[in-house]
Amino acid sequence: MITILGVPMQALFGQLLLGLINGSFYAILSLGLAIIFGLLNIINFTHGAQYMMGAFVAWMLLNYAGLGYWWALILAPIIVGLFGVILERLLIARLYKLDHLYGLLLTFGLALIIQGLFRNEYGVSGLPYAIPSELSGGQRLPFMFLPNYRGWVVVASLVVCIATWLVIEKTKLGAYLRAATENPTLVQAFGVNVPLLLTLTYGFGVALAAFAGVLAAPVYSVNPNMGADIIIVVFAVVVIGGMGSILGSIVTGFTLGLIEGLTKVFYPEASSTVIFVIMVLVLLVKPAGLFGRTA
């Protein structure tokens, strides 16, 4: 058996893949958070619950409407995104002129309510969601076994992250978004409907979370707590990458997933804390985060 630094190669690559999968979810979720925070100045603590809702909507579509995974991949982000749009219009829009703290409290409270409702209805044991038949099975690579679905998760996440980044950096809509992030008042004074931009941005960020939720449904079981479990790590990722940095959140998400995977191989005891240790170190050296701009 081939070993690297005393670790069997199979185990090393297995953990790296697992790290990359986790990193995919970190990247999509922190990307949504970064977009929302950048433009709306809202620390969206409901993000985890919205990710969980994505997984649940996929499960519901399958079990109540007979619509499978591929439908869910499109419909769940739209449905949960619309839910986000309603939240923004009804509640979040009232907080823009107040301190960050109010947005954090509101979205945190909403997350608790949403999780509570789902827990009440579906319990906490988790509901199964099968891997779509097109993606079952796997590839036997020279150094490891790659389940097809896991490969798909990584590819789909990368594509969505890069596409989002391109829209923000290269299109007219993205230019409005970047400009409104810097100076919403002036963009408004040019005749742009900034409140609409805010609503759509929140809806899109939430849709990203729901998309991650659908991707996650076959990997982890569909569970009301799945969002609460991951969101704390995702916030650490956002802090490390730099609040509001688009590229930073993508790169940091994948990288930290990999680091977490490596830690599981070489020093498993630290695998659940390594991200937070990195966060502390980054905050000490670069308080604005690795990709953040100091104001």
Partner 1 sequence: MAEAVMTRPGAPAAAGAAPLLSVQGLEGWYGESHVLHGISFDVRPGEVVTLLGRNGAGKTTTLRAIIGILGKRKGSIRYDGQETIGMASRNIAKLGLGYVPEERGIFSSLSVYENLMLPPRVKPGGMTVEQIYTLFPNLKERSGSQGTKLSGGEQQMLAIGRILRTGAKLILLDEPTEGLAPVIVQQIGRTLARLKTEGYTIVLVEQNFRFAQTVADRHFVVEQGRVIDMIPNAELDANIDKLHTYLGV
Contact footprint for partner 1 (CB under 8 A): 172, 175-176, 178-179, 181-183, 185-194
Contact between 174 and 167 under an 8 Å Cβ cutoff? The reply is: yes
Task: Supply the minimum distance, in Å, between the C-beta of residue 254 and partner 1.
Answer: 23
Nearer to partner 1, 42 or 187 (CB): 187
End-to-end, the C-alpha distance of the chain in Å comes to 53
Task: Supply the minimum distance, in Å, between the C-beta of residue 286 and partner 1.
Answer: 19
The C-alpha atoms of residue 185 and residue 164 are separated, in whole angstroms, by 24
Task: Supply the minimum distance, in Å, between the C-beta of residue 78 and partner 1.
Answer: 27
Task: Supply the minimum distance, in Å, between the C-beta of residue 249 and partner 1.
Answer: 15
For the chain, counts of helices (H) and of strands (E)? 11, 4
Task: Supply the minimum distance, in Å, between the C-beta of residue 173 and partner 1.
Answer: 11
Nearer to partner 1, 169 or 229 (CB): 169
Nearer to partner 1, 155 or 186 (CB): 186
Contact between 24 and 154 under an 8 Å Cβ cutoff? The reply is: yes
Contact between 260 and 218 under an 8 Å Cβ cutoff? The reply is: no
Look at strands 138-140 and 3-4 and give their pairing.
Answer: unpaired
The C-alpha atoms of residue 128 and residue 34 are separated, in whole angstroms, by 31
Nearer to partner 1, 89 or 178 (CB): 178
Nearer to partner 1, 120 or 185 (CB): 185
